[in-house]
Structure 1
Amino acid sequence: MTPPARRFATDVITFYHPDFWGLDSADALRDWAFADPQAFWLRVMDASAEAGITALELTFAPGDIDSALRAFGGAAAFRRELAARGLSVVSAFVAGADAPDWRQDGALPAIVADAERRAAFLAEVGAELLVTGLPMRTTFGTRPPFFVDAAYLTRMADIAHVVGEAVSRYGVKLAFHTESNSTFWYERDIDLFMALTDPRYVWLCPDSCHIALGGGDPVAVARRHSQRIALAHWKDAVRPIDVELTIDETVFAQQQPYMTELGTGIVDWRAWADAMSGTPGAGIVLVELDEAADPVAALRAGRAVVEAATQP
């Protein structure tokens, strides 16, 4: 069987390093991008095209849906700007302080409304994937303890079914991302949640780095759940996280030292590429490089690793 044509994508977070913008901090970048969202997006688009990237995943601000709408006035205009550079949107990540909390009682109507708003944008911009995660764990040793047990994941599965069905009406699939220190991180979390959810409405977005950071085998996870992988994040890890991190607003920064550019860490890229080749999401390779100071060079290097790993 001939494999599908491969397109390279990246998450907009790849462009969040302040050095790329000649600024001195992440806060300065957020402020500048909020003041001039069109200038932010045009440079992201141009750099993506220069790096040979053809698709983007939207994420938290400043590379979020609201920013794109403010920059261009609507999804259709945003789509036209992307298309003029040979680009498209492949997905959007449910992120940001305004995203409803799945653990909060009575939040389901707000969760569904938020997902439908994002799905409507994705449909208009020509994308088919809404990527989300499950809530974070609590810091180990916190009292009272919070257990990620069957009852908890069953509640999450019930919500996922409602959201997945709601966005399916827009032609959008709901895929779950394997975020470090979340309740969808360890191999056991992934296996149990996927077993509890209907494959017609709930898909998987495995992140090779984050699964490895949890001490798991990303290739084994991909092989077990191959027919439910709508998209994957190709990202490398230095080693599993070997300490108990404090899970608060700084946890993502605490994870950074364990992440690295493709080909410089522990992920077996040839085996990962082989596992990805038989998935529904095989046509897109999303190279994720958090906050690269030189994103064009980093994305080109990442593409080279992928191309080497996929050679016969």
Structure 2
Amino acid sequence: MTPRFATDIITFFHPDFWGLQSADAVRGWASANPEGFWERVMDALAEAGVTGIELTFAPGDIDSALRAFGGAPAFRRALETRGLSVVSAFIAGSDCPDWRDGTNLPAIVADAERRAAFLAGMGAELLVAGLPMRTTFGTRPPFFVDAAYMTRMADIAHVVGEAVARHGVKLAFHTESNSTLWYERDIDLFMALTDPRYVWLCPDSCHIALGGGDPVAVARRHAQRIALAHWKDAVKPIDVHLTVDETVFAQQQPYMTELGTGIVDWRGWADAMSRTPGAGIVLIELDEAPDPVAALRAGTAVASRQMRA
């Protein structure tokens, strides 16, 4: 089976691609011109030969697509005319209910069901989530990612996973740096506590490496539960304690690099991915590429070579 290539919409967030001066300017223009934003993104995807999209933060989110096209059917038709489709959506945004607050489960489920209904209408079947972030090391009182915490997260994941499954959608968890699903131990514990019928994994090769882990070993251990993976490279593990606040994602950027130029064992990763339920999609993740078409072509070339090796 020849896999399809996909990418996260964050690939298209760099100001240079839009001829603008800042990320805020991109968000402002895209918010005012959602149809123009999506038309240019779709044209670039078609030019790069990448056919799948993962929706994520604004302006590349579900709400932006709905504003641009008026509904899922019209958005799906616009994509299909270019040979494109949505493969997944990430639970993201400032309005997302906080999983750390166990009293808001109805809001968490309602938010996930709304997204799952949209995905079902798009012919997609993967909803990607993350666990809450850690706190900065040394913060008092300390926050421990222990068995009690992971049990609470597993309980929420089961309820959400069952709810979205009724829409024909799988719930998969992403391994984000500085989150409570980052280290190899975090992943193993969460997977052990969750039911494989309702909870899937979306490993990110870069983020696992940034936590000092072995992405290939993680993929091999949990191969049967990988519904999707993010293919991304890392310069080296994060060797300092980052401040976990609204700037943490920017602090992580210097540790990330283009596919094939970092420390990820791509041949081992490609082999492990070929043995998973998510083998049909290769999602190349490139955060804010100044030239997304060139970057996607380069990334897909690296992945293709490793899959043929």
TM-score bracket, shorter-length normalisation: over 0.9
Counterpart CA distance in 2 for 1:228 and 1:80 is 31
Q: Out of 182, 189, 194, which is 2:191 matched to?
A: 194
Q: What fraction of aligned residue pairs are identical, expressed as a percent? A: 83
Give the secondary structure class of the aligned counterpart of 2:308.
coil
Q: Which residue of 2 aligns with 1:88?
A: 85
**Structure 1 position 45 matched with structure 2 position 54:** no
Q: Out of 18, 21, 37, which is 1:21 matched to?
A: 18
Q: Out of 164, 169, 178, which is 2:166 matched to?
A: 169
Q: Out of 231, 234, 255, which is 2:231 matched to?
A: 234
Deviation of residue 105 (structure 1)?
A: 3.4
Q: Deviations over 1:192-238 (max 9, x none)?
A: 00000000000000000000000000000000000000000000000
Q: Which residue of 1 aligns with 2:280?
A: 283
Q: Which residue of 2 aligns with 1:207?
A: 204
Matched residues, number = 309
Counterpart CA distance in 1 for 2:120 and 2:8 is 18
Deviation of residue 311 (structure 1)?
A: 1.5
Give the secondary structure class of the aligned counterpart of 1:106.
helix
Deviation of residue 310 (structure 1)?
A: 1.2
Deviation of residue 5 (structure 1)?
A: 2.5
**Structure 1 position 117 matched with structure 2 position 114:** yes
**Structure 1 position 145 matched with structure 2 position 128:** no
Q: Deviations over 1:93-128 (max 9, x none)?
A: 000000000011311000000000000000001100
Point out where structure 2 has 5 or more consecutive residues left out of the alignment: none
Q: Which residue of 1 aligns with 2:248?
A: 251
Q: Which residue of 1 aligns with 2:295?
A: 298
Counterpart CA distance in 2 for 1:291 and 1:64 is 15
Counterpart CA distance in 1 for 2:162 and 2:31 is 33
Give the secondary structure class of the aligned counterpart of 1:9.
strand
Counterpart CA distance in 2 for 1:176 and 1:105 is 18
Root-mean-square deviation (Å): 0.5
Deviation of residue 32 (structure 1)?
A: 0.2
Counterpart CA distance in 1 for 2:72 and 2:289 is 27
Give the secondary structure class of the aligned counterpart of 1:310.
helix
**Residue 86 of structure 1 aligns to which amino acid in structure 2?**
G
**Structure 1 position 31 matched with structure 2 position 28:** yes
**Structure 1 position 73 matched with structure 2 position 106:** no
Give the secondary structure class of the aligned counterpart of 1:176.
strand
Q: Out of 266, 270, 289, which is 1:269 matched to?
A: 266
Counterpart CA distance in 1 for 2:62 and 2:102 is 26
Give the secondary structure class of the aligned counterpart of 1:101.
coil
Counterpart CA distance in 2 for 1:88 and 1:30 is 23
